[in-house]
Amino acid sequence: MKWAWAVFKAHPYISNVLGYTTLFASADLIQQSVLGGKPTSEGPAGIDWWQTARVATVGFCFHANFNYFWLRRLERMLPGAGVKAVTSKVVVDQLIAAPLTISAFYIGLSLLENKDDPLEDWRQKFLSSYKAGVVFWSTMQAVNFALVPPVARTVFLGGISLAFTIFLCHLRQQSDQKLE
């Protein structure tokens, strides 16, 4: 295990981005497998691998990279793991990063799906996603900022994101299935 931590510390960008992307895409697979994905040609609830590839693309191209650089910047702006620093980081994170990442999720997937109106999902689901996210992410980011070393925060965030992304994918699938 020490060698894995050494590799992680030696290559934090690659480790964090690939780890985050893997966890982000896994959320879509879990959502499809457990909560039921879109019907495919293989059956009523098969895995839509193109959907998972789109989620992975959004995760890699935006979320993983954004979070890696955002968390580094946030630590430089508000250093430390004390109550005041952690509280400040959580508030700034929820006011700036949360709306950006939720928006990137809905708009990015809509663009990759070539939807006629790429803002439709965002308009319908942003507010409920943001409200749920404030409760979930405030707690999880407080743990992240207080207990996780800065070098591992993005991949830790990816692990936490797994649960929230399952929620977002499920919310998105439910609305799409109602329209069909």
CA distance 31 to 140: 21
8 A C-beta contact, residue 14 and residue 149: no
Q: How confident is the model at residue 151 (pLDDT cuts 50, 70, 90)?
A: confident
Q: How confident is the model at residue 3 (pLDDT cuts 50, 70, 90)?
A: confident
Phi, psi (degrees; rounded to nearest 5) at 43: 155, 180
Phi, psi (degrees; rounded to nearest 5) at 40: -125, 180
Q: What does the pLDDT read at residue 88?
A: 97
Three-state DSSP state, 40: strand
Q: Where are the alpha helices (DSSP H) in 78-119?
A: 83-92, 98-112
Using the predicted structure, report yes or no on whether residue 1 has a pLDDT greater than 80: no
Q: How confident is the model at residue 177 (pLDDT cuts 50, 70, 90)?
A: low
Using the predicted structure, report yes or no on whether residue 39 has a pLDDT greater than 70: no
Could you read off the pLDDT of 77-120 as tens digits, one per residue?
Answer: 999 999 999 999 999 999 999 999 999 999 999 999 999 999 99
CA distance 58 to 29: 14
Q: What does the pLDDT read at residue 126?
A: 96
Rg (C-alpha) for the chain, rounded Å, is 17
* Mean pLDDT over the full length of the chain: 88
For the full predicted model, state whether its pTM sits above 0.75.
yes
Using the predicted structure, report yes or no on whether residue 50 has a pLDDT greater than 90: yes
- Report CA-CA distances (Å) from 76 to 47, 81, 93, 101: 41, 12, 13, 20
Give the residue among 28, 102, 11, 119 at the shortest CA–CA distance from 63: 102
Q: What does the pLDDT read at residue 74?
A: 96
- How many CB atoms are closer than 10 A to CB 19? 19
- The domain of 85 spans 2-179
Lowest mean pLDDT among 3-7, 32-36, 127-131: 3-7
How many domains are there within the chain?
1
The string of DSSP letters for 132-164 reads HHHHHHHHHHHHHHHHS-GGGHHHHHHHHHHHH
Q: What does the pLDDT read at residue 38?
A: 56
**43 bridge partner residues:** 40
Percent of the chain past pLDDT 70, that is, above it, reads: 91
Q: How confident is the model at residue 43 (pLDDT cuts 50, 70, 90)?
A: very low
CA distance 161 to 10: 24
